[in-house]
Chains A and B, each alone.
Chain A
Amino acid sequence: GESVGLHLPTLSVQEGDNSIINCAYSNSASDYFIWYKQESGKGPQFIIDIRSNMDKRQGQRVTVLLNKTVKHLSLQIAATQPGDSAVYFCAENMNAGGTSYGKLTFGQGTILTVHP
């Protein structure tokens, strides 16, 4: 029979452009957020994280912005490269460091395609 799957948001950009991937999280009590990148046939790979007492954190070519008022998280990738093509997941964790330490709830993901 026909299979029905998640319809992941997609983002297509040209090499060298900046990319912004958005995520709406569900739990206002979540205090820790992570972005993961998953390439085809591989496991998710950590990109950057942010705690709820921050609204911005920068890494190498990546920036995560957190807006707790509207429960929104974004990942900005500067000078996007073909190697950045992957599925990007945001994940949230409530009470990081407590008994739910590391228990992440993942979003559905966004497919990023970078054209040379």
Chain B
Amino acid sequence: DAGVIQSPRHEVTEMGQEVTLRCKPISGHNSLFWYRQTMMRGLELLIYFNNNVPIDDSGMPEDRFSAKMPNASFSTLKIQPSEPRDSAVYFCASSGLAGALGGELFFGEGSRLTVL
């Protein structure tokens, strides 16, 4: 049973370059979340989608960050232009109605981004 799939697992890029992170949620899940994890701030919610529609993007740091979910099986998080302070592990998670009490998130393995 495939879990949440993220790519790339690791990316090293130079400041100013565009970065695109990809996520395939668990089939049948109707909610998708992008989190960022850093030593400074821990796990922060960036944006989440319900039925492919962005519901809350208040966690997106600034206009350099954008996220899309063109269909139920794919989402992207884009950073343009990237900056060194964007270096972090970016997690995608999905959730469906079959959670134990509702609300359980299934996380991918993360994309570790390093911006030089």
A residues near B (Cβ < 8 Å) are 3-6, 32, 34, 36, 41-46, 49-51, 89, 93, 96-97, 99-109
Contact = CB atoms under 8 A, between A and B. Distances in A.
Contacts of B110: 42-43
Contacts of A105: 45
Contacts of B12: none
Chief secondary structure at chain A's binding surface:
loop
Nearest to B96: A102
Contacts of B91: 43-44
Interface of B: 4, 31, 33, 38-43, 45, 48, 50, 55-56, 91, 93, 95, 99-110
Contacts of B55: 99
Contacts of A4: 40
A49 to B, nearest CB: 5
A96 B107 contact: no
B50 A101 contact: yes
A93 B45 contact: no
A102 B33 contact: yes
B109 to A, nearest CB: 5
The residue among B4, B50, B56, B101 with the most chain A CB atoms within 10 A of its own CB is B101
A5 B33 contact: no
Nearest to A107: B42
B104 A46 contact: yes
